[in-house]
């Protein structure tokens, strides 16, 4: 199913995003390689969502270059993004997944089986025929995950998928993300939850006010932050 | 009062000529709605999703066309289809086909204009998700039309209402020929001018009843299916 070329590593070279006189992202240099999950951490307004949109290819930087596996024009086919508030199509749960499978070029004859497998993977088998818009917040995030996984992505970008969820719903989303990571999908996930960073991250990119403040292994970031902002963030102080 | 009673009597008797008139009216107007939906919905969706110079002008024009006078449409179609007109060789003036054409032209804007608005509003919500799923232009139109289906029922009903109620266009291009192109509205006009008020009232009553029944059915279907799909 996979195309022979790879989207990894994802490289940002001097990437800036400006809107008028406002700098949203400021000269980011970043290499995201295959492996365990990378978490983009930072306070609200740090530019995490914007960075994820650039990584997906939804927005173009106003300066600098982004390349996926060395190519600047890589199609989105190998990537998927989970928005903080995913849009549920006005159809059943199963039909939402079938829609994504159809777009991914899966032939009609294979779709039913794949839908079943994906529903199982995200634990929504019992709700297959339920209207997607009637699902709870956590169920909607899991359906959005199934839709993203239907694309068979190499990179999965997630924008604070558990921001509005209770602990039980958060856990089931994290378990799906974990298993996706174990199956070889590169996870890049925004979060401002330190507990989540501890549970999921192998690598951390810490952003403040549109710039990368610190990046490295998750353990180092959590235990020995080198910058003042990171130290304050890890301590639980308010970083703005 | 006596007029209304005779009108009711006429309906209860199940007059064959009356039934033929009702049948033709429904056949013409429903065909026009189907054709106008096939043309107007993709057209509205296309306009809702495109960005080009002069688009605002087109949107204003389309919205204005919702108020197109039936007699003007009738006249235009008459000129097109008359023996000396560009489409005169088909010989379809004063046939039900001509009436369907005229009504279709009349209600394409009535369906396309609200479709454009609905699709444009829904696109704001869907843009990121569909872009990230790599949905092409045709897929976007199809997805948005399908997901807006419950709202679009109202546009269809507005179109049907207009088609069923208008008299000007069908009168001009149909000619109100007894047993061939006479519809409920043209018959009401004719019978009123002849002073045959019972028949006119009877037809008017049936017309209003049918319009209410179709709207009720559409409303019921919408509520039911919204419950199914959310």
Angle at A141 between CA A189 and CA A182, to 5 degrees: 50
In a domain, A2, yes or no: no
CB atoms within 10 A of CB B199: 22
Q: Which of A87, A99, A132 sits opposite B125 (nearest CB)?
A: A87
Q: Which residues in B lie closer than 8 A to residue A58 (C-beta atoms)? A: 128, 131-132
- Quick one: pLDDT at residue B16? 80
The shortest C-alpha distance from A80 to chain B (Å) reads 7
pLDDT exceeds 80 at position A2:
no
Q: How far is A199 from chain B (nearest CA, A)?
A: 28
Q: How many domains does chain A have?
A: 1
Threshold 0.90, pTM exceeds: no
Angle between helix axes B16-49 and B197-229 (nearest 10 degrees) is 40
Band (B225; pLDDT cuts 50, 70, 90): confident
Q: Do A103 and B128 touch (CB under 8 A)?
A: no
Can you give the pLDDT at residue B12?
Answer: 66
Mean pLDDT of A76-103: 94
For residue A178, the enclosing domain spans 10-87+148-235
Cis before B157? omega within 30: no
In a domain, A135, yes or no: no
- Sheet with A38-41: strands ordered across: A79-82, A155-159, A186-191, A38-41, A203-208, A211-217
pLDDT range class, residue A240, cuts 50, 70, 90: confident
Q: A154: how many CB neighbours lie within 10 A of its CB?
A: 22
| pLDDT score recorded for residue B198 | 85
Q: What percent of chain B is modeled with pLDDT above 90?
A: 77
Model ipTM value: 0.90
Name the pLDDT band for B8 (thresholds 50, 70, 90): low
* HEC secondary structure over A34-98: CCCCEEEECCCCCCHHHHHHHHHCCCCCCEEEEEECCECCCCHHHEEEECCCCCCCCCEHHHHHH
Q: Cα–Cα distance between B68 and A112 in angstroms, integer?
A: 48
CB contacts of B144 in chain A (<8 Å) are none
Q: Is the pLDDT of residue A1 over 80?
A: no
Cβ–Cβ < 8 Å for A188, A52: yes
CB atoms within 10 A of CB B192: 15
Kindly calculate the radius of gyration of chain B based on its CA atoms and give it in whole angstroms. Answer: 20
The tens digit of pLDDT for each residue in A15-42 reads 999 999 999 999 999 999 999 999 999 9
If you average pLDDT over residues A206-211, what whole number do you get?
94
Give B158's contacts (C-beta < 8 A, 6+ positions apart). B110, B111, B114
Whether chain B has a CB inside 8 Å of the CB on A27: the answer is no
Q: Which of B85-89, B98-102, B119-123 is least confident?
A: B85-89
Question: If you average pLDDT over residues B83-108, what whole number do you get?
Answer: 95
In a domain, A98, yes or no: no
- The predicted pLDDT at position B228 comes to 75
Mean pLDDT of B101-122: 97
Q: What's the whole-number average pLDDT of chain B?
A: 91
Mean pLDDT of B37-41: 98
Inter-chain residue contact A56 with B132, CB threshold 8 Å: yes
B128·A58 Cβ contact <8 A: yes
Q: Give domain B2-229's CATH architecture.
A: Orthogonal Bundle (1.10)
pLDDT band (50, 70, 90) for residue A201: very high
> Does residue A139 sit within a domain?
no
pLDDT reported for residue B10: 65
For residue A76, give the CATH number of its domain.
Answer: 3.40.50.300
Q: Going by DSSP bridges, is the β-strand pair A186-191/A203-208 parallel, antiparallel, or unpaired?
A: unpaired
- pLDDT, residue B1, reads 45
Rounded to an integer, what distance in angstroms lies between the CA atom of residue A31 and that of residue A43?
21
Judge whether residue B171 has pLDDT over 90: yes
């Amino acid at each position: 199913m996979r195309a022979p070329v790879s989207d990894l590593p994802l490289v940002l070279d001097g990437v800036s995003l400006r809107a008028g006189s406002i700098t949203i992202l400021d000269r980011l240099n970043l290499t995201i390689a295959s492996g365990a999950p990378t978490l983009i951490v930072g306070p609200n307004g740090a530019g995490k969502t914007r960075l994820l949109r650039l990584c997906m290819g939804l927005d173009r930087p106003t300066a600098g270059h982004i390349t996926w596996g060395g190519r600047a024009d890589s199609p989105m086919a190998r990537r998927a993004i989970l928005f903080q508030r995913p849009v549920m199509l006005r159809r059943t749960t199963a039909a939402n997944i079938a829609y994504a499978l159809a777009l991914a070029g899966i032939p009609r004859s294979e779709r039913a089986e794949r839908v079943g497998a994906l529903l199982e993977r995200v634990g929504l088998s019992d709700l297959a025929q339920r209207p997607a818009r009637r699902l709870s917040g956590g169920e909607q995030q899991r359906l959005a995950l199934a839709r993203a996984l239907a694309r068979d992505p190499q990179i999965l970008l997630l924008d604070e998928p558990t921001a509005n969820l209770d602990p039980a719903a958060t856990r089931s989303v994290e378990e799906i993300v974990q298993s996706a990571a174990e199956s070889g999908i590169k996870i890049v996930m925004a979060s401002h939850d330190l507990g989540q960073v501890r549970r999921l991250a192998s690598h951390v990119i810490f952003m403040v006010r549109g710039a990368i403040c610190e990046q490295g292994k998750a353990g180092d970031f959590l235990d020995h932050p080198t910058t003042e902002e990171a130290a304050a963030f890890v301590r639980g102080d308010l970083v703005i | 009062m006596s007029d209304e009673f005779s009108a009711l009597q006429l309906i209860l008797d199940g007059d064959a000529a009356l039934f033929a008139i009702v049948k033709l009216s429904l056949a013409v107007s429903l065909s026009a709605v189907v054709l106008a939906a096939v043309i107007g919905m993709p057209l509205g969706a296309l306009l809702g999703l495109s960005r080009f110079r002069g688009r605002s002008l087109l949107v204003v024009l389309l919205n204005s066309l919702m108020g197109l006078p039936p007699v003007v449409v009738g006249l235009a179609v008459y000129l097109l289809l008359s023996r000396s007109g560009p489409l005169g060789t088909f010989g379809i003036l004063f046939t039900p086909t001509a009436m369907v054409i005229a009504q279709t032209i009349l209600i394409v804007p009535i369906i396309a204009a609200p479709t454009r608005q609905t699709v444009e509003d829904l696109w704001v919500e869907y843009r990121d998700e569909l872009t990230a799923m790599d949905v092409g232009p045709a897929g976007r139109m199809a997805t948005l039309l399908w997901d807006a289906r419950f709202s679009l029922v109202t546009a269809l009903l507005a179109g049907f209402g207009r088609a069923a109620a208008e008299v000007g266009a069908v009168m001009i291009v149909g000619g109100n020929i007894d047993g061939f192109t006479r519809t409920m509205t043209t018959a009401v006009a004719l019978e009123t001018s002849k002073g045959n008020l019972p028949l006119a009232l009877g037809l008017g009553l049936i017309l209003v009843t049918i319009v209410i029944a179709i709207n009720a059915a559409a409303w019921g279907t919408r509520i039911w299916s919204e419950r199914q799909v959310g």
